[in-house]
Amino acid sequence: MKTIKGPAIFLAQFLDDSKPYNNLKNICEWTASLGYRGVQIPAWDKRVIDITLAGQSKDYCDEIKGIVQEAGLEITELATHLQGQLVAVHPAYNTMFDNFAPAEYKGNPKARTEWAVNQVKSAASASRHLGINVMASFSGALVWPFMYPWPQRPSGLVEAGFAELAKRWMPILDHCKDLGIALCYEVHPGEDLHDGITFERFLEATGNHQAVNLLYDPSHFVLQNLDYLQYIDHYHSFIKMFHVKDAELNPTGKSGVYGGYQDWIDRPGRFRSLGDGQVDFAGIFSKLSQYGYDGWAVLEWECCIKSPVQGAEEGADFIADHIINVTEKAFDDFAGGVIDEATNKKILGIDN
């Protein structure tokens, strides 16, 4: 067993053009003052990193690392969710997802995809420059519009979609493999990788590529009514990153998992600040510790009620209180004695 590292915080939802959230130095000083020990950096936000330059220059990465260390923090991981999303976009979502790409790629899905692939590759190279061996991303989605089978899906549609998804990711995965980077997909509704079965489909489609791994976030499983503790039993060997995010699912006679197109505040399934939802974090930290997860526990704040500042202020202590300093000895060691092979045979009644 190993002790989980933390607390850390994902900066994406906190960055803003006002102080202290407006650049890497200021936001790191702010998070350190709250008791965090690490920061997860969104690779799409130039207020904290230029990921293209970071992929090219170790000197630039050393500067970024120095700013973070000056605040008393570590860089836990880079996150490429927005770029990863654009690796695979179904045409139905082209207009909306164009907002994730630079203006020159809007209206040109092929060029946008090429840009996204290069961005995720750059982030992998930057991770290597920073001395980090894990990186987060989304898978993107080609099959998601056909998630609920009506009209009935044509035979082979899902297989064809995952084959294409794997084809688009293979150059990135090979690049990550060459650099020793574990690419951790955040399994998430809206992505083709949204539960255990879809993760297994993708893993098979990539030929069980060794760079394919998981970012574990229980909040997305609460909203799907999926057993998020048993999920750890199934996939713990792939879990290399951990978002600590709370959620609740309170279905009614009018609305359930799909939410009725309502705003987040009115949906039965909602993201909440740590401790305000239904996630069994004591069970999660226990299971992850049991299976030897030694990565970071990273707060991701996406609450529909509480302010981000309050969520961040409360989150550091919440995570710290849940981290288990794993034992290095068995509780019943005091009752044991020195046993040798001969004694064991005697106990079992085995003749020499």
Q: Measured in Å, how far apart are the chain's first and last C-alpha atoms?
A: 37
Region 283-304: mean pLDDT is 97
- Separation of alpha carbons 272 and 274, rounded Å: 6
pLDDT confidence of residue 347: 85
Residue 332's pLDDT is 72
Length, in residues, of the chain: 352
Percent of the chain with pLDDT over 70: 99
Q: Is 303 left (phi over 0), alpha (psi -120 to 50) or beta?
A: beta
The pLDDT tens digits of the residues spanning 66-109 come to 999 999 999 999 999 999 999 999 999 999 999 999 999 999 99
pLDDT digits (tens, 9 = 90+) for 52-70: 999 999 999 999 999 999 9
What does the domain layout of the chain look like in residue ranges? 5-348
5-348 belongs to which homologous superfamily? Divalent-metal-dependent TIM barrel enzymes (3.20.20.150)
> How far apart are alpha carbons 280 and 4 in whole angstroms?
17
Q: How confident is the model at residue 334 (pLDDT cuts 50, 70, 90)?
A: low
| Three-point CA angle 75, 81, 86, nearest 5° | 145
Whether residue 335 is predicted with pLDDT greater than 70 in this model: the reply is no
Kindly report, residue by residue over 199-249, the tens digit of the pLDDT: 999 999 999 999 999 999 999 999 999 999 999 999 999 999 999 999 999
Tell me the whole-structure pTM to 2 decimals: 0.95
pLDDT at 31: 98
CA distance 311 to 275: 10
Quick one: CA dihedral 220, 159, 184, 327, positive or negative? positive
Q: What is the pLDDT of residues 105-129, one digit of tens each?
A: 999 999 999 999 999 999 999 999 9
* % of residues, the chain, pLDDT over 90: 92
Asked if 80 contacts 136 with a C-beta cutoff of 8 angstroms, the reply is yes
pLDDT at 352: 65
240: part of which helix (H) or strand (E)?
strand 239-244
Instruction: State residue 218's pLDDT score.
Output: 98
Angstrom distance (rounded) from CA 100 to CA 110:
14
**Considering only CA atoms, which of 262, 251, 243 is closest in space to residue 10?**
243
